[in-house]
Amino acid sequence: MIPLPNLIAPFVGKGGRLLAPFIQYLQQFTQAPPNIADIVVGVSPFNYVAQEPGNVSITGGTIGSISLSRGLLFVDVTGQKLIPVAIKDVISVSYTVLPTMKFLANYGQNTGQ
């Protein structure tokens, strides 16, 4: 979800029109969600870096481990099928049989969808 813009900033411009940050904030409640994007899985261990907030779905394959890293922190999420991610979060998947991964974007700005 796009956070509420700075409440100290002006809401409308000189002509009485709503300003861009507030337009973008309000549009998220009226637009259809973006398409689900396929993630092309590379060799194990495969790293996926999120370009925007959303969820990563991992199904099938034979998974050894899944971890989520944010900055210097790592969380073992092995066994999870739907993993929430923020911008620049890294999902690392170790596998022996290729899994299917998909990205469900919250907004769709950075996925080409």
Q: Convert the pLDDT of each residue in 10-44 to its tens digit.
A: 889 888 999 888 888 888 777 777 789 999 999 99
CATH code linked to domain 37-105: 2.60.120
Rounded Cα gap, residues 111 and 24, in angstroms: 17
Two structure tokens written together for 104 = 């469900």
Q: Is the pLDDT of residue 83 over 90?
A: yes
Q: Is the pLDDT of residue 105 over 70?
A: yes
Question: 33 or 67: which carries more pLDDT confidence?
Answer: 67
Q: Is the pLDDT of residue 65 over 60?
A: yes
Intervals of CATH 2.60.120 along the chain: 37-105
The distance in angstroms from the start CA to the end CA of the chain is: 17
Q: Is the pLDDT of residue 76 over 70?
A: yes
